[in-house]
Structure 1
Amino acid sequence: MYLPRLLNILEVVARAGKPLSVKEISESTNFPKPSCYKLVQDLIKDDLLIKGKGNKFILGERLKQLVKLDHQDLDISSIAEPLLKKSAHRFGVTFFLSRLRKKGVEIIYVETPQNSQVSFLHPGFGFRPLHACSCAKVIAAFSSESFQLSIIRSRLKSYTRNTRTNSNLLQTEFKHIRAKGYAECVQEIEVGMCSVAAPVFVQDLGVFLSLGATGPLRLFANDFRETIGAYLIELSKEFGDLIYNRNAWANGTIALAS
């Protein structure tokens, strides 16, 4: 009976659409108030609920993270494909989709331009460091302060002379990224290679995805990066709305995280 009661409370809080007090949870679940209080405290201990203003409770970050982990790469890639395809055709450069995985960011889908008259770069798949790639830095910049501090305080590997390994400079860059709305990587991973990326905001779930574009330094000059950055901000908004509105989260878990 213990687990079903916990799940009942989580469902009540998720469906409420606003913070709830123990009294309100008790009335909705028909659990005695003392029992309800104890169950709420157990959920708080595991970060499945958190206390807000006025001794009211909302869903915790751990539960939201579980929802993120449940979303399959294939599902979000299929939603991103037409957006990235039209973008690659429009600009003649490579566009890509990345997602947060534990302590790194992984590129999971790439769309290259077709019939391009100029050379283009393929970023490859796999992990990118959180301090030295636009797709990773932009997710870090829009994450919690504690997550950013864990990056800044870690051992920051240098890939080129442009890689930021100074914690103060990296912290400042995170602030600049939030102000601009997108991140840049200018030869930080590989000499001659640049990229730009914007965060994807999914309603109630925060930022764990990013959309980016990459190409050679000679093409990705300052003005072009600025143009791509502004474009990616709008594209990422469209992508985030599509994920939410198409109910892409399997088994109705999006409702649980709202």
Structure 2
Amino acid sequence: MTEFKERHILKFENLSEILRHIVIDRFCQILKFVAASPEAPSIAAVAQGLELPRATAYRLVGQFRDEGILEASEDGGLRLGSNFVSMVLSAATTSQVVQLFHSVTEAVGAAFEETGFLGRYTGSEVDLIHVTTPADSRRAHIHPGLGLRPVHACSSARAILAFLGENEIERLLARDFEHFTDRTVTDLDGVRAELAATRARGYAVCDEEIDVGVTSVAVPISAGGSGVALSVGVVGPRRRIAEHGIEAIGETLKTLVAGLPVAALGQAAPIVRHD
């Protein structure tokens, strides 16, 4: 009798394992399908494309939407959810994030023939993790370096901080502000005002606040309701940036990052791939 029970318990455990793998496989198939679709697919399209019963597709998609893994797009289709995007970005290594957003950083710099940069929020600081320089090696350019950015002055940091929660902002601003140039804002009220201006216009500016003659403009890369963890921007000599116009650069950057980071995850997908 004991052997009979053990044999059937083992069969039950094996069946549970098989079912678990089926659910995981379907989960990954749905994510891949949604991420790779050029337009937000309907649930019916998911069912048809993956040859799933409609009832199964509706049930799984419903569960994924409840958890923020998938969400409805503006036209009623499906796209990767902000919770999922935030989870992937927070778990990704720096090299994986750079891989995902290299083309975006490069496109940002190329749009103005200047240096593009990518910033990442670590939870306590903002790091500049990637830089792309102009394709024309004969063109003089600014290289901002990599590593920690001053949260009160750098455009990459402002573009992230401005869109964090109020308590988190105050926590990050509880420090002494270094004075770099005559234009550096070092009083707390002034820094708060600059963050408010960044929120209002949707892009951050650092105009000779770290280095004389150098101007940068950056925009946040939003993960929807899960907030902001990345920023991307352009830096160059102040004269050349002024020729383009700071406002024009800011608006162009906002257009270039529209739909990110979902689009980047959909194109690269090495982090969400499951074979």
* TM above 0.5: yes
Match of 1:214 in 2: 235
Correspondence 1:158 to 2:145: no
SS across alignment from 2:129 = strand
Amino acid at match of 2:114: V
Matches within 5 A, 1:52-67: none
1:98 aligned onto 2:119: yes
**CA displacement at 1:201 relative to structure 2:** 0.7
How far apart are the structure 1 equivalents of 2:241 and 2:253?
A: 14
Shift of 1:240: 1.7
Does structure 1 residue 119 correspond to structure 2 residue 140?
yes
Change (3 A) 1:173 1:249: farther
**2:161 alignment partner AA:** A
Aligned residue identity for 1:156: F
SS at match of 2:200: helix
In the TM superposition, 1:29-48 aligns within 5 A as: none
How far apart are the structure 1 equivalents of 2:95 and 2:131? 12
Q: What residue in structure 1 maps to residue 250 of structure 2? A: 229
Which entry has the higher C-alpha Rg, 1 or 2?
2
Q: In the superposition, relative to structure 1, how do residues 69 and 175 fare at CA in structure 2: closer, same or farther (>3 Å)?
A: same
After TM superposition, list the pairs within 5 Å mapping 1:55-204 onto structure 2. Answer: 68-115=89-136, 118-204=139-225
* Structure 2 gap ranges (5+): 1-61, 68-82
How far apart, CA to CA, are the structure 1 residues paired with 2:99 and 2:272?
A: 18
CA distance in 1, matches of 2:89, 2:97: 11
Query: Partners of 1:241 and 1:148 in 2: how far apart?
Result: 25
TM-score by length of 2: 0.64
Which residue is equivalent to 2:78? none
SS of alignment partner, residue 220 of structure 1: helix
The aligned residue for residue 42 of structure 1 is none
> Are the equivalent residues in 2 in contact too, given 1:203–1:244 (CA < 8 A)?
no
What displacement does 1:138 show?
0.9
Q: Number of residues paired by the alignment?
A: 200
- 1:48 counterpart residue number: none
Distance 2:236 2:178 in 1: 23
Contact map agreement 2:105 2:117 (CA 8 A) in 1: yes
C-alpha contact (below 8 Å) 2:101/2:264 kept by paired residues: no
For 2:264 and 2:225, how far apart are their aligned partners in 1?
Answer: 12
The answer to whether the Cα contact below 8 Å between 2:130 and 2:146 also exists between their aligned partners in 1 is yes
Taking a change above 3 Å as real, the CA distance of residues 178 and 78 of structure 1, as seen in their structure-2 partners, is same
Give the drift of 1:245: 3.4
The CA distance in 2 between the partners of 1:222 and 1:164, in whole Å, is: 24
**Contact 2:217-2:234 at 8 Å conserved across structures:** yes
Change (3 A) 1:93 1:16: closer
Which amino acid is the alignment partner of residue 107 of structure 1? L
| Structure 1 residue 133, shift from structure 2 partner | 0.1
Going from structure 1 to structure 2, the CA distance change for 1:64 and 1:233 (only over 3 Å counts) comes to closer
Counterparts in 2 of 1:64 and 1:145: CA distance versus 1, 3 Å: farther
Q: Residue deviations 1:188-211, cap 9 Å, x none?
A: 111111100000012443201000
Evaluate the alpha carbon distance shift between residue 90 and residue 187 of structure 1 in structure 2; reply closer, same or farther with a 3 A threshold: same
Q: 1:148-189: CA deviations, max 9, x gaps? A: 112333222212221111111111111110110000001111
Q: Check whether the contact 1:202–1:244 (CA below 8 A) recurs between aligned residues.
A: no
Residue equivalent to 1:6: none
Post-superposition shift, 1:238? 3.9
Local SS of the residue matching 2:153: coil
**Is the Cα–Cα contact under 8 Å of residues 80 and 239 in structure 1 kept in the other structure?**
no
Q: 1:91-145, CA deviations, whole angstroms, 9 ceiling, x for partnerless residues? A: 2100011101232111111111111664211111111011110000110000010
* Amino acid aligned to 2:172: I
Q: Deviations over 1:48-70 (max 9, x none)?
A: xxxxxxxxxxxxx9x99776431
- Comparing 134-143 with 100-109, greater Cα deviation is found at 100-109
Q: Percent of counterpart pairs with the same letter?
A: 30
